[in-house]
Structure 1
Amino acid sequence: MDVNDNVIQDIRHFNRFYTKLLGVLDRTVLDTGYSLTEARVIIEIGMLGQCIANNLVDSLKIDRSYLSRVIAKLSKEGLLIKEDSTLDNRSNLISLTAKGTELYKQLNKKSDEQIVRLLQGLSEKEIKQLHTSMLLILKKLERINDDSI
């Protein structure tokens, strides 16, 4: 299918707008001192509870060597713990420490607060429209992408 150049430009414009709006290009995300990638790794592990690095590579679509450096940094800072897997001695199970769990909770709280701030000034009807539109975008893009974002 041929995609109209205007459609491409509009989508790219939206992407630039939304990343700027969320502040994801800042050096750190949500004033935590951690990059967006580091925060996403913490959130993903927090949601999974315990995982192996391959789970993170697959779910975040992240380069394996870059993930390894992120995990090493977060482990050194006492946010993650790696333990030998009893099922596969070639793998380490990764989980959050108590300090990592606190950061996970902080990231979730700050993310929720950021969304509330974004929606301030919109009517209930506008919020419902925005929400419906976002769900539609998610549904359409997940349908063509086997792995959900």
Structure 2
Amino acid sequence: MNIEDTIVADIREFNRFYTKILSLLDKHVLNTSYSFTEARVVLEIGFMESCIANNLVEKLDIDRSYMSRIIAKLSKDGLLTKEISTLDNRTSVIQLTAKGIALFNQLNEKSDKQLINLLHGLSQRQITEIHASMLLIKKNLEASGGYCNDTI
């Protein structure tokens, strides 16, 4: 195995490790009735405050049909509203309802608590190293200009 194979194997192992410790593959994320992808859609709508489906498709790199099904489910559950855009009647503006905002806040709080629990027991130096490493990973991968979403 050459060094590139070792690096690839180590990165993939880290991805599996991190996915597991955050319970991202659980059917329902953070003890809600929503999948990870559905929860991410709620969070992104909450962060943007209002958006159109194409914004979500681009931001999350999700298939349009899949996004449409997620939006329909979240709308049916009373978490979001869709209104025809005043700028373009071919698009709908998506916003969270009061119930959606409550879920958004719950997901934010539980996500923060999950990470605080994950870091609990580490020294400040270890936390600083992890934080700096994550920022460096993000910076370097963003600078490369590309990514692949089909690696397991």
In the alignment, the residues of structure 2 paired with residue 3 and residue 50 of structure 1 have an alpha-carbon distance, to the nearest angstrom, of 46
Report the equivalent of 1:75: 75
Report the equivalent of 1:62: 62
Does residue 113 in structure 1 map to residue 113 in structure 2? yes
1:145, distance to aligned residue in structure 2 (A) = 2.9
Write the deviation string for residues 91-119 of structure 1: whole angstroms up to 9, x where unpaired: 00000000000000000000000000000
C-alpha distance 69-107 of structure 1, shift in aligned 2 (>3 A)? same
Write the deviation string for residues 52-103 of structure 1: whole angstroms up to 9, x where unpaired: 0000000000000000000000000000100000101110000000000000
Does residue 12 in structure 1 map to residue 12 in structure 2? yes
Length-normalised TM-score, structure 2: 0.93
In the alignment, the residues of structure 2 paired with residue 37 and residue 94 of structure 1 have an alpha-carbon distance, to the nearest angstrom, of 17
In the alignment, the residues of structure 2 paired with residue 116 and residue 99 of structure 1 have an alpha-carbon distance, to the nearest angstrom, of 26
In the alignment, the residues of structure 1 paired with residue 36 and residue 3 of structure 2 have an alpha-carbon distance, to the nearest angstrom, of 30
Partner secondary structure for residue 29 of structure 2: coil
In the alignment, the residues of structure 2 paired with residue 144 and residue 76 of structure 1 have an alpha-carbon distance, to the nearest angstrom, of 40
1:142, distance to aligned residue in structure 2 (A) = 1.1
1:146, distance to aligned residue in structure 2 (A) = 6.4
In the alignment, the residues of structure 2 paired with residue 47 and residue 144 of structure 1 have an alpha-carbon distance, to the nearest angstrom, of 26
Q: Which stretches of structure 1, 4 residues or longer, exceed 6 Å deviation after superposition?
A: none
RMSD over equivalenced CA pairs, Å: 1.4
Percent identity of paired positions between Structure 1 and Structure 2: 60
In the alignment, the residues of structure 1 paired with residue 107 and residue 34 of structure 2 have an alpha-carbon distance, to the nearest angstrom, of 10
Report the equivalent of 1:88: 88
**Count of residue correspondences:** 146
In the alignment, the residues of structure 1 paired with residue 108 and residue 101 of structure 2 have an alpha-carbon distance, to the nearest angstrom, of 11
Does residue 122 in structure 1 map to residue 122 in structure 2? yes
1:3, distance to aligned residue in structure 2 (A) = 7.4
Length-normalised TM-score, structure 1: 0.95
Partner secondary structure for residue 4 of structure 1: helix
1:143, distance to aligned residue in structure 2 (A) = 1.1
In the alignment, the residues of structure 2 paired with residue 9 and residue 29 of structure 1 have an alpha-carbon distance, to the nearest angstrom, of 27
Specify every segment of 5 or more residues in structure 1 that has no aligned partner in the other structure, as ranges: none
